[in-house]
Chain A
């Protein structure tokens, strides 16, 4: 997959702090999760990608264009959804999105038409003629996403798109982000919520203190651990644990009433299935336990 973002030795210093320290990146044109705690350098990286800030050292290319040479050209190919509130509150969603479509270079008529389409896409078709000031947090986040994609960018930078959303709003936003990839829009999703990245991103970049910690496909990071999680309900956990131990399997229980069973192959998985069936237990879940991004982040070591 070709790189949508390519950085070499990217360094940005502010008085008293190095926001980015010699970062090398090759982000593929898919859905990339940019993970890091507050102050890790995510927003600084976005500003450098948008050409709104100049690096102290190193180079960065977006869509094959050097940002330093043509920041305006780069910006015309990028959509940006900031984390903070950034919408004109007294304008309708349709006007806001159409205006940012025009600012992105679309002709007036095309901007209004696409504003209507993308607001429909993000689920605001019926609310598009209401002032943004009366919107809920979820609706404002959707409007921000709509303005980011209205000009059909090659790359969209999403800064904490699920911030402040309730669980259902978060699910819907992640579903929308997931769909962007199928529209041919590359996504860089900056967040500190590792679950969000694990859900929708094909590639993960972790920053910590301005340094690159991880830059790898998600599936490589979330490798199987050789453990399966079995959920038969809290009432039957101990009985099942005893039965599996008697069949020679290593078993541990956790505090939410599920079993963690160490398996070495399909035969062990068959054994688990058969024991559950023989005991006539309700099998709610039988899943491979994967390394979580939290594990990766906690045990991180800088990329050499």
Chain B
């Protein structure tokens, strides 16, 4: 019996030096941002990791779809033009968004510390500041997208179901700058707070619970202080203790963007210089969060 001639061969491909383009610090930061963003929205991860962002997006878009659907169904009826949600109200704090940040921020940050990946990352051409920028940027992008995209759905949908698309566009030009600015401020607040809290722990559960705890405790303390001082009702003089409620701070700033003043439903409404105080408190919280983040990663780097 003849042995068939071998048609295969084994090659040792060896090692090929790389002589193509090579980025520096900015490219490394962008790479870390991309990786973090992919991780946040569950790309290249098991299906379980895709559930949270998918649910959040669904929850975020549903009100817009309903609003547009109602608008479509009530065309030509006395109820035409009814809006059960406004752009200002639509852009705000939701339990789903808070839960999302409490889940995702620790997931992006804590494993790097717990699994000791940080020394490996900082052996690459980037600094602690770049690391912080990439991580905060990834959360910011997620929160911004999940806040902004539903508004786009709402805007485009309302425009299409209205009698005159061009008229709707002209009548609502203000939201074209108000929505992205307010969404960016909301996203910056959440991203800063989420990453700052997560940077203090190596355990995801602890960081997530701490994030939720801080917001819960601050809103409870704020409510107790307001009640202890006689409370505040809409239309009456407000109470500066409303500033203690960390969760409501981005809402006060949102109102300033949309209305130019604190909304009368807010416990801060009626407080002299309430708008300025809200901006100052918002800025202080964001600044403290960024300082915590930079401090944490500067110490790791060196």
Contacts and interface: CB of A to CB of B under 8 A. Distances in A.
Interface size class of A (residues with CB under 8 A): 35 or more
Interface of B: 13-18, 20-25, 27-28, 31-32, 34-35, 44-45, 111-112, 115-117, 119-127, 301-302
B24 A76 contact: yes
Q: Which one of B15, B27, B44, B111 has the highest number of Cβ atoms from chain A below 10 Å of its Cβ?
A: B15
Interface of A: 50, 52-54, 72-73, 75-76, 78, 80, 82, 84-92, 95, 99-100, 102-108, 110-111, 114, 117-118, 120-121, 147, 149, 151-152, 179, 183-184
27 contacts: A73-B24, A75-B123, A76-B22, A80-B123, A82-B119, A85-B115, A86-B117, A86-B120, A88-B115, A90-B45, A90-B111, A91-B44, A99-B31, A100-B120, A102-B31, A102-B34, A102-B35, A103-B31, A103-B32, A103-B121, A103-B125, A103-B126, A105-B22, A107-B20, A110-B20, A117-B13, A152-B17
A204 to B, nearest CB: 24
Given A52-B302, A72-B125, A120-B13, A106 B120 contact: no
B120 A104 contact: no
Given A72-B24, A106-B22, A110-B20, A86 B127 contact: no
The main secondary structure of chain B at its interface with chain A is loop
A149 B15 CA distance: 10
Contacts of B45: 90
A86 B121 CA distance: 10
Nearest to B301: A52
Nearest to A121: B15
A100 B24 CA distance: 13
Q: Which one of A105, A111, A184 has the highest number of Cβ atoms from chain B below 10 Å of its Cβ?
A: A105
A102 B24 CA distance: 10
A239 to B, nearest CB: 47
Contacts of A89: 111, 115
A87 B25 contact: no
A105 B125 contact: yes
A184 B31 contact: no
Contact of A105 (B27, B301, B302): B27
Nearest to B300: A52
B6 to A, nearest CB: 22
Contacts of B117: 86-88
Nearest to A80: B123
A183 B15 contact: yes
B124 A85 contact: no
A213 to B, nearest CB: 27
Contacts of B34: 102, 108
Contacts of B111: 88-90
Contacts of B18: 106, 110, 114, 151-152
Nearest to A72: B125
A117 B120 contact: no
Contact of A117 (B16, B22, B27): B16
A78 B35 CA distance: 21
B27 to A, nearest CB: 5
A183 B126 CA distance: 26
Given A76-B125, A100-B124, A151-B22, 12 more contacts: A50-B123, A52-B302, A72-B125, A72-B126, A86-B116, A87-B117, A90-B45, A103-B121, A105-B22, A108-B34, A121-B13, A184-B17
A103 B36 CA distance: 12
Given A52-B123, A90-B111, A105 B44 contact: no
B119 A86 contact: yes
A108 to B, nearest CB: 8
Nearest to A104: B124
Nearest to B114: A89
Contact of A80 (B17, B28, B32, B120): B120
Contacts of B125: 72-73, 75-76, 103-105
Contact of B115 (A72, A87, A103, A108): A87
The 9 closest A-B pairs by CB, nearest first: A102-B31, A152-B18, A80-B123, A76-B125, A103-B124, A183-B15, A105-B22, A105-B23, A72-B125
Q: Which one of B45, B111, B122 has the highest number of Cβ atoms from chain A below 10 Å of its Cβ?
A: B122
A107 B21 contact: yes
A92 B39 CA distance: 13
A209 B121 CA distance: 29
A117 B11 CA distance: 13
Contacts of B28: 102-105
B63 to A, nearest CB: 34
Contact of A53 (B32, B35, B302): B302
Nearest to B118: A86
Q: Which one of A85, A106, A114 has the highest number of Cβ atoms from chain B below 10 Å of its Cβ?
A: A106
A105 to B, nearest CB: 4
A99 B22 CA distance: 14
